[in-house]
Amino acid sequence: MSISDAYETFDAVGQAALVARGDVTPDELLDEALRRVEALQPSLNAVTMLRENVARRLIAEGLPAGPLRGVPFLLKDLGAEAVDFPSNNGSRLFAGTTYAVDSAIYARLKAAGLVTFGRTASPEGGIGPVTEAAVYGAPTRNPWNLERTPGGSSGGAAAAVAAGIVPAAHGSDGGGSVRIPASSSGLYGFKPTRARLPDGPYAGEGWAGMAIDGFLTRSVRDTAVLLDATQGPDLGAPYAAPPLQGTFLNACGQAAPRLRIAFSRTSLTGDPIHPECMAAVDDAARLLAGLGNDVEEALPSADTKGMMAAWTKIVACGTALSVATAIHRRGREFSPDELEGISKAAIAYARTISGSDYLAAVGKIHAYGREMAAFFERYDILLTATLAEPPAPIGRFDHRNDDYLDYRLGPGRVFAYSPFTAAFNASGQPAASLPLYWTADGLPVGIHLAAGFGRDELLMSLSARIEEARPWFGRRPPLRYETLSRR
């Protein structure tokens, strides 16, 4: 089998097994990844930085004997701070930011034996459902349809994995930023319970505890192994998730019990969703019922609109803080062209929010978590679409917009497009997007599953059972390395 065939045939766990047996070397896998970047980057604009010299050095020094030893990997250009990988954080203002020490999550990824060789595109500040940051010169595009977004804010990671540049990539999720790209790009994306993964040492929590790291993968077990390699609090963490009973990988091998599953064919506020997204929910509900679960239509009574208004305040304040920190570090104000319109609008909105307003917003999301917890006393799982529409056209959520509240909450804007995912950042519950449905014109539509707080292993087990019943690994987009290499 050629390196290219092996790269296509095996997920990250499978590629690590090839390395362990001596069938391929880490250098050969890295060579293949770099060939794929060269071929696909002009169409996708997904990879923002290449550090081949760092990757070669890591290999030469001897990779740790971790579960993913030798597998090529990419970090999102936001978070996962690493000495060897400066970051733009999706912004001209932050371009070339360097770090004195590695973040806890990158140190754990490195210890897993991964060969990190670059970063992937993110929107400025991670605050959009698309990836069209000016710092990269052009939008990041979806390999299923180049006129559509791969999602955001982990859009570069999703495009790179979907197109086959890497088998898995790092992402992060503060309002759906792993699950939105997973849905848009035909991938698996899992958001763990709040504080399951480390934030230090650069932060205690992100966006009042709503933000967390994660991964974009083509198989459930890849996500499981990555989570096992990185989960657990780091030194000085302000709080921790409930301990796991076993491991994520073990959960993949467990039979899920008969579950009480609620599903909704509307948004969480009862608004209609696109017919193709509704069809995806109906299809998944039938599948789950066929797997022996009790499935019924039900909708939480939690105040989702109020939660989203609070989420919007918290994210605006987070944006203002990060920009103020950058200004303080360099000792001068930003110029008008260093920040995009939506970031400047978020900062302006943050200036209208008092300290008591901010604390009230945090209190609102905590109250929302309690409201959702009551619903999950009656049900084990909530099934919805991941997005209310198929992947948006490039430009629809352009960051040049100068009205932050309209961008987030206005008719047809971000909350209408993505009305599901942020709910579980606010509540802190685990949630996942699974690639089970494609539209008639070939666009992926994810289905979204959420479980009770701390029940990550149940959600992982159910994801694995669904993957067995409806495998998706072999489904590939039109734009991928094999199609280009045959031209």
Helix (H) or strand (E) holding 406: helix 404-409
Using a 10 angstrom Cβ sphere, with 0-12 exposed, 13-18 middle and 19 or more buried, the burial of residue 356 is exposed
Given 91, 103, 153, 433, which residue is catalytic?
Answer: 153
Is residue 153 part of the annotated active site? The answer reads yes
Q: How far apart are CA 186 and CA 437, in angstroms?
A: 9
Contacts of 332 (CB under 8 A, 6+ apart): none
Q: Which residues contact 279 (CB under 8 A, 6 or more apart)?
A: 437
DSSP states of 60-86: HH-----TTTT-EEEEESSS--BTTB-
Is the separation of the CB atoms in 392 and 443 below 8 Å? Answer: no
177 is catalytic: yes
Catalytically annotated residue among 91, 103, 122, 177: 177
| Environment class of 258 (CB within 10 Å of its CB; exposed 0-12, middle 13-18, buried 19+) | exposed
Q: Which two tokens stand for residue 251?
A: 């959960």
Buried b (16+ CB within 10 A) or exposed e, 84-106: bbbbbbbbbbbeeeebeebbbbb
Active-site residues, by number, are 76, 153, 177
